[in-house]
Chains A and B, each alone.
Chain A
Amino acid sequence: MPSSPNMGCEMAPSADQVLKALSTIVDPDLGRDVVSLGMIKDLHISPQGQVAFTFELTTPACPVRDQFRRRAEEALQGMEGVTGVDIKMTANVRAAQGRQHQEMLPEVRQTVAVASGKGGVGKSTVAVNLAAGLAQSGARVGLLDADIYGPSVPTLTGTREQPRVVDDKLVPLQAYGLKLMSIGFLGGADKAMIWRGPMVSRAIQQMMTDVRWGELDYLVIDLPPGTGDASLTIAQSVPLTGVVIVATPQELALEIAVKALQMFRTLNVTPLGLVENMSWFVCPGCGQEHYVFGHGSTERAAQRLGVPFLGGIPLDQQIRSEADSGAPIVVSRPDSPGARAFRDLASQVAARTSIQAFRRLPVINVR
């Protein structure tokens, strides 16, 4: 850390003074101040009192990014001797721990699965928009469609080409800033996969190891619905940072979502939280919000189960029509309520994975 020479009549503050002022900013998710978390980098203080540094967040999708910048500016502008503040905001997504992960996907920092209990709750739409939302924030994102029997990613992203093979590895397709891989690209999206469990497991592993993913901050994995053989083998063969469970507010969908959650817990996959899709309907005529399937049931279930509630996504005709035409709504209609809800979701998921990466496992002693 460079020290300030304190020349001239204007006394520039010392690096310690600046860091002390910045240490009043506490990361609300990690519960510690940003200085001790090592987020302040390349601090430079000119003799004239110009303070410049890099604010390194744990994810580009940080929900409090703007708040951090404002608070840092406020903290320093009030300081004696400071004539200017220049903050560069960057992000460095921390890698998940675990050896299995490094062997399987050495260049991927975080793997986030999107799962559901029953089908038809919009899991793939959530996965695509979550991935696109993370990519919009500046992260490098891949999307792996692990739904072997019902691959949706080709339709939802409007991509149908055959991936090229270079040096015995598949090159993922690219769309909306995402790297994409789906069984639908390989077998043909219109052909049914008539496979037993072991074949599914093998195909999934190949789509991870035999694909040139390159360096990724996040790999979003769209899992098949349910707790059946396919989900089970995937959850065990894919090294996951955590899983996002999608439910709709109906009692039935929620009940089954809870079962999916329990399955992942049993398999040591950390639940990142529950998302409520088709949460409310915005009437295109009067603009009023209608809670067609009831209100608050997913949030209450999350509370009961001790997992975070990651937010609700509205039942919006635009989300459906954009999805069918092959464009994630966060890209095609970024100002719509649906897109805003998906961006909020991306921030929440990014924050949860950062927490996972930051936490060290507790030390256990048995005497």
Chain B
Amino acid sequence: MRNLDPFPTRIDLVRADNVLEVEWEDGATTQFEGARLRWACPCAECRGEAGQPGRLEGQAELDRDELQLSDVTLVGQYALQIAFASGHATGIYTFRYLRSLATQTTP
């Protein structure tokens, strides 16, 4: 059992700053900007499936409301569902995936 998923203790979505802040069980804090999360959306529509290219492939830019965070909800005990102002909300970001996305980790 050395295969534990990282687990968050607190999740703050600040719409005005377009930032999602996650505090993890081990004390680390990660800040994600809306654009970063939108481009990393793991859903099938964005990533493509069954050999079909996803919506984000070959796309250089997205509208402002595509990148604006609007809501976040918990999925089971393993992931967050993140919604954007454009209405796009099909991405389910597992805690493990979010942790791997973490670039700005502050102790």
Q: Mark A residues whose CB is within 8 Å of B.
A: 28-29, 31, 63, 265, 268-271, 302, 306, 308-309, 348, 351-352, 355-356, 359-367
Contact = CB atoms under 8 A, between A and B. Distances in A.
Interface of B: 1-5, 7-16, 25-26, 71-79, 92, 94, 96-97
B4 A367 contact: no
Nearest to B69: A366
Contacts, number: 68
Contacts of B71: 366
Given A29-B1, A308-B1, A366 B76 contact: no
Contacts of A364: 11-13, 72-74
Contacts of A348: 1
Contact of B96 (A270, A306, A365): A306
B70 to A, nearest CB: 9
Contact of B78 (A28, A270, A302, A360): A270
A251 B73 CA distance: 34
A361 B79 CA distance: 11
26 contacts: A28-B1, A28-B2, A31-B4, A63-B1, A265-B75, A265-B76, A270-B76, A270-B77, A270-B78, A271-B78, A306-B96, A359-B77, A361-B74, A362-B9, A362-B10, A362-B11, A363-B10, A363-B11, A364-B11, A364-B12, A364-B74, A365-B12, A366-B15, A366-B72, A367-B14, A367-B16
A306 B11 CA distance: 20
Nearest to B10: A363
